[in-house]
Chain A
Amino acid sequence: MSTKKKKLSSERLQRVIELCKSVEEQGVDPFAVDVDDIIATLQKYFPEWESTEELALDAEAVQYLASVIQNQGDWVKHRSTSLYTDPFLLEEKIQRLKKEELAALFTTVWSPIIELEQISIPSLAEALRYWNELVPISERWQKNGPLQVAAGATTWEELVRLKILAEKTFLEELEGFWKELKQKVGENEKIHYWDFVGADTYSETIDRAYMTSFLVTYGYATLELHPLEEEIFIKPFTKPRSELADRRMVSVPISVSHEEWMRWKEGRQR
């Protein structure tokens, strides 16, 4: 079976799953699903499935189809009970009744629960203990004046050490990062996202992913997405493109989870 044909078949299965899900989740009439037709489709495609993903999709479709059949069974069961009533008829009756009539009718079949709330002796004792131990409000709300500290001078290095100031400005850092990207890409034009962002430690990887997002947003680079292969590449521009900021931007969520970083690291070691 060709890849294209397989893709079409799995798309058909996805549609079957969505249809069955809508019965479960949106209350669609279960008899709107043609079970025989779906079973025939599943039977037709089944011999062609090879990979685990394809078989899992098939199993999922069968599971959702089973839930539709169960819904059909429940529907038949409900119709045979004394509670069954035609929704349209009931709706019509409700629409025609006045609010007062409806309320009066409801109260004849409504038996509210009797419930009393009380405070017990142990709770009272606890409340009393709390009250006795409570510090007077004048003490609780006492305002402490600001601590007097003698003013002094500080240095630039001290502020950097306290992380109040950065060693480099953000733009300087971003441009350094852009140069690194261009060096790594060399003549290849683009580099695999993880090969650029990935670092020896996970926290460093997160830092690099953060900076990369700014490279793309500020027009220093762009992303090339290959959704079918699930691959993402970064392509640096030779000059920053400020005109991109005026165009409609598209957000691309990229997961940089610890598991993915571990997977990338293991792959690199191999």
Chain B
Amino acid sequence: MDAMERRETKMTRKAYYARKIKRATQLLFYKRHMKPGVKGWELKNALGSDYPKILKVLDNHLEKLDLQVKTVFEGEEPAGKPTLEELNRARFFVTLRGGLPSKDAKMMGWRIDDIAGLATAISCIISKRGKAPREEVEDMLRSKLPGWRVDMNLNRYIRSGYLAEDENNMLYLDWRTRAEVDQKALVDLLLGTET
């Protein structure tokens, strides 16, 4: 293969990835279902079986914009490198890479009260091994929110996908918390605060 042929092959491959990255961006940014994000198998159908590689390239591009491609696995996160099967069942989102100044959160329609309440509810559930009776979470929230807002806020967190509730009024962390919140960092930060 001479130099020209090699250059042409390289150009074709570059064009191939550029096309695939554009498609991946459309799929990940635009909401197509009730829930945001795309399932691995949908990406596989649209981009081909090498979609993890395409997502990695896209993630590198997004880093400059302080964004990232986030993978949320079904159930627990695999200990080692995830298999293609696990990736196909996972859901992919684009999230902010770093944190968000709390004054900017206000612009997203969240009051300081709502964010403090969400932090309280999530940490309470984490400390109770991932599930806690709704009553206990409500009691905790009452220390941060006015009584009439407690029920309303909890329902809002459930509707948004941060928390889930079962028929026995037990609260769990739902898909949005897994996608958006670094749970370990949250616990570490809370425990590290000097009070």
Q: Residue on B with the closest CB to A77? A: B129
| B94 CB, nearest partner CB in chain A, Å | 5
Of A89, A100, A101, A109, which is within 8 A of B191 by CB?
Answer: A89
Given A99-B144, A102-B120, A110-B131 contact (CB < 8 Å): no
- Does B115 reach chain A (CB closer than 8 Å)? yes
Chain A proximity mask over B178-193: 1 for CB below 8 Å, otherwise 0: 0111111111011101
| A104 and B102 contacting across the interface, CB-CB below 8 Å | yes
Cβ-based interface call for A113 (8 A): yes
What distance in Å separates the Cβ of B190 from its nearest Cβ neighbour in chain A? Answer: 5
A101 cross-chain contacts in B, Cβ below 8 A: 193
Interface residues of A in 83-104 (CB under 8 A from B): 83, 85-87, 89-97, 99-104
Total A residues in contact with B, Cβ cutoff 8 Å: 40
- 1/0 per residue A159-195: CB within 8 Å of B? 0000000000000000000000000000000000000
Pair B105/A109 contact, Cβ less than 8 Å: no
Residue A26 interfacial (CB < 8 Å)? yes
CB of B99 within 8 A of CB of A109, answer: yes
Tell me the complex Cα distance, A190–B134, Å: 50
Stretch at the interface among A3-11, A114-122, A210-218: A114-122
Query: Which residues from chain A contact B36 at a C-beta distance below 8 Å?
Result: 113, 115
| Residue in B closest to A30 when the chains form the complex, CB atoms | B129
Q: A91-B124, A105-B119 are in contact. Are A83 and B184 (CB under 8 A)?
A: yes
Cα–Cα, bound, A77→B151 (Å): 32
Closest to A117 in B: B31
The answer to whether A83 and B190 have CB atoms under 8 Å apart is no
In the assembled complex, the CB of B172 is this many whole angstroms from the nearest CB of chain A, namely 11
Q: A25-B168, A110-B181 are in contact. Are A93 and B195 (CB under 8 A)?
A: yes
Q: Of all chain A residues, which has the CB nearest B101?
A: A107
CA distance A170 to B104 in the complex (A): 70
Return B70 CB to nearest CB of chain A, in Å: 7
User: With A and B bound together, what is the CA distance between A113 and B29 in angstroms?
Assistant: 9
Which residues of the other chain, A, contact B131 by a CB distance below 8 angstroms? 27
Q: Does B158 contact A (CB under 8 A)?
A: no
Complex contact B127–A103 (CB within 8 A):
no
Contact of B126 among A85, A102, A103, A115 (CB under 8 A): A85
The reply on A111 being an interface residue by CB < 8 A is yes
Interface residue? A78 (CB, 8 A): yes
Per the bound structure, the CA–CA distance linking A235 and B126 in Å amounts to 59
Complex Cα spacing A96 to B191, Å: 12
The residues of B that contact A112 with a CB separation of less than 8 Å are: 95-96, 100, 108, 180
Instruction: Given A75-B129, A85-B126, A97-B193, verify A109-B186 contact (CB < 8 Å).
Output: yes
Q: Are B102 and A111 in contact (CB under 8 A)?
A: no
Contact check, B170 vs A90: say whether CB atoms are below 8 A apart.
no
Assess whether B176 is interfacial by the CB under 8 Å rule.
Answer: yes
A113-B93, A113-B179 as given contacts; A86 in contact with B119, CB under 8 Å:
no
Q: What's the least CB distance linking A23 to chain B, in Å?
A: 11
Let me know if A106 is at the binding interface, CB within 8 A.
Answer: yes
Q: Which residues of A contact B143 (CB under 8 A)?
A: 94-95
Interface contact A109-B116, CB-CB below 8 Å:
no
Chain B, 114-157, CB within 8 A of any chain A CB: 115-116, 118-120, 123-124, 126-133, 140, 143-144
Chain B 55-87 per-residue mask, 1 if CB under 8 angstroms from chain A, else 0: 000000000000110100000000000000000
Interface residue B16 (Cβ < 8 Å from any Cβ of A): no
Of the residues B31, B99, B132, B144, contact of A110 by C-beta under 8 Å: B99
| B180–A110 CB distance below 8 A | yes
CB distance from A19 to the nearest CB of B (A): 15
- 13 pairs across A/B with beta carbons < 8 Å? A26-B168, A27-B131, A78-B129, A85-B126, A90-B187, A91-B124, A93-B195, A94-B143, A106-B116, A107-B115, A110-B181, A111-B70, A114-B94
Give B contacts to A, CB under 8 Å: 29-31, 36-37, 67-68, 70, 93-102, 104-105, 108, 112-113, 115-116, 118-120, 123-124, 126-133, 140, 143-144, 168, 170, 176, 179-187, 189-191, 193, 195
